[in-house]
A and B are shown apart, each in its own frame.
Chain A
Amino acid sequence: MASVASLVRPELVCPAGTPAALRSAVDAGADCVYVGFRDETNARNFPGLNFNRKELAEGIAYAHERGAKVLVAINTFPRAGNPGIWHQAVADAARLKADAAILADIGLIEHAHRAHPDLRLHLSVQAAASNPDAIRFYAERFGVKRVVLPRVLTVQEIAAVNARIAPVETEVFVFGGLCVMAEGRCALSSYATGQSPNMNGVCSPAGEVRYTETAQGITSELGGFTINKFAHDEPAGYPTLCKGRFIAKDKASYLFEEPTSLNTLSMLPDLIKAGVTAFKIEGRQRGRAYVAAVVQAFRAGVDAVMAGKPLPDIDLDRITEGGKQTTGAYEKAWR
């Protein structure tokens, strides 16, 4: 068992969809904040969300003055023959002195490596690199320094990957929404709306979502399809197809996954011992109250582990999707 002294302190990488959320994250103890531009170059291209160039410059200044870093997610896949706004996004991230760009598309990564050799590159979870060969390829060919691992590996598998890819760093999700598909490959949203997170930066676009109150509760529709019904006292979830309730064998149930949030607070010691460099909190689409609450909880958790103290008992139930939590694939309890 590793002693506390031998453990490497992981960075806490926190989401910010707006300048106010960025400030909340930094003030709550984030080591890094990840953000996106206000367009389809990032996978949280939601209405009213994200940063223009001026806001990013101010956000970087705010973070740097307080010893925190800013990472820019440019993690959608450029359209064939029209990579202009993706190239511009990378150029602006470099110009504004972002601490790293988080990229998914192999062509964009090659462009960034060639055109902006001083820009630190992180591989987005959207690239779905989950084994040492894939990770080493990105590191050796394009100088990628860190890989955000897909949410499909156990802690033991993460430790095994880490042992074979040094000095490449790994970042894992520790809290927030979950996807069931191979990351970066999910097209479910496209079937109902014509838009997907990979190409348009938005899963289940809000313009395609309708909620209708009825005497029985609330009905959620996506692209005109009814995907769920919640009774009055039943917690609701995001209106995505993967979290829809469908009828099979005369029984309505969650066929893909239930509305549940990942929460690994109890697993932080194991993840630190597995050699993970950075812990990522999902949720750029969430408000600053969420950002502050989750960052404070994980800041306290990481600090406790590094000080050799017991983990704090922090209840995050109130901000979870569907009011439920899971440790997801990290334990694979279903095996």
Chain B
Amino acid sequence: MTQAHARAGTTPVTPPFSPVLLLGMALKPFRPAALQPLFDAMLKVVRRRHPDILERMADYGDKAVCIDPVDLPFVILLEPNALDPRLTVRRAIEPGEVAATIHGPLEMLIALAEGKVDGDALFFSRRLVIEGDTEVVVALRNAIDGAGIDLIDDIAQELGPLARPFRGLAGAAIGLMSRMREDFETLRNAIIAPAVKDSANQGARIAQLEGELKQLRKAARRGGVA
């Protein structure tokens, strides 16, 4: 076990200003256990539809991984034991409790699970941070990416006659989320606009000063008066 751990408010990734962040704030008063049935159901669906994930993780069944959606007030503990896998919602993970931790915004983690974004690229750009046992994280990433997960389709397939209304509902929710994201971006830009303007002015001033300093150094090297 490593010292990888996660505790709300101590993550190495700054949460993006997004609807999920707002949702996270709204969820703060709830006990994580209240969300557990949702994760139990999700694990059941994924296990039934993508048994190959646990098969690819066979060598790492005893290595728990903490998934830390940095914009939510809880973390998810994944225990990939092939016979008894568990997905547990917790407020925090203690040091030494898991082999590795993956930190990232919720939407990005979902996109990663669905193979819509490349894990290496997210890591290169530092939007995804991993700590602890890299091997188990790489195995998990490859196992999930290779499964071809499509959360909406996977859930819909399990709902029988309710699949159609579920797809409609999910589509509407995604559309709403997308519009909210745009609104949040506008709001964010409006809030930070004065700071951005100040920063641009300061940048221009620093560039000007750097130019003057360069000229002075050049003059000093030529033996002139600096």
Contact = CB atoms under 8 A, between A and B. Distances in A.
Interface stretch (B16-24, B112-120, B166-174): B112-120
A232 B156 CA distance: 40
B146 A206 contact: no
Interface of B: 2, 12, 56-57, 59-60, 112, 115-121, 123-126, 129-143, 145-148
A211 to B, nearest CB: 6
A213 B12 contact: yes
A288 B114 CA distance: 9
A194 interface: no
B129 A213 contact: yes
B35 to A, nearest CB: 27
A235 B125 contact: yes
19 contacts: A17-B146, A19-B148, A47-B60, A47-B139, A48-B138, A49-B146, A205-B135, A206-B135, A232-B126, A235-B124, A236-B126, A238-B120, A239-B134, A259-B124, A285-B142, A286-B118, A287-B141, A321-B124, A323-B125
Given A207-B135, A209-B134, A287-B118, A18 B146 contact: yes
Contact of A18 (B57, B126, B137, B145): B145
B123 A210 contact: no
A209 B134 CA distance: 6
A160 interface: no
A236 B123 contact: yes
Nearest 10 CB-CB pairings of A with B: A18-B146, A48-B142, A48-B139, A47-B139, A20-B148, A207-B135, A290-B118, A206-B135, A209-B134, A206-B138
Contacts of A212: 131
A19 B145 CA distance: 9
Task: Identify which of B57, B119, B133, B145 gathers the most chain A CB atoms within 10 Å of its CB.
Answer: B145
A218 B146 contact: no
A207 B59 CA distance: 12
A117 to B, nearest CB: 33
A115 interface: no
A187 interface: no
Nearest to A292: B115
A48 B141 contact: yes
A46 interface: yes
A46 B138 contact: yes
A288 B115 contact: yes
A235 B126 CA distance: 7
A239 B137 CA distance: 14
Contacts of B135: 47, 205-207, 209
Task: Identify which of A20, A239, A285, A287 gathers the most chain B CB atoms within 10 Å of its CB.
Answer: A287
Task: Identify which of A209, A237, A293, A323 gathers the most chain B CB atoms within 10 Å of its CB.
Answer: A209
A113 interface: no
A47 B118 contact: no
Contacts of A287: 112, 115, 117-120, 141, 145
Interface in A232-275: 232-239, 259
A49 B126 contact: no
A319 interface: yes
A18 B138 CA distance: 13
Given A20-B115, A20-B148, A213-B129, A318 B121 contact: yes
Interface string A95-132: 00000000000000000000000000000000000000
Contacts of A239: 134
Contact of B116 (A18, A238, A289): A289
Contacts of B56: 48
Contacts of B148: 19-20, 23, 288
B97 to A, nearest CB: 17
A218 B60 CA distance: 25
A213 B126 CA distance: 11
B152 to A, nearest CB: 17
Given A47-B59, A235-B125, A323-B124, A207 B142 contact: no
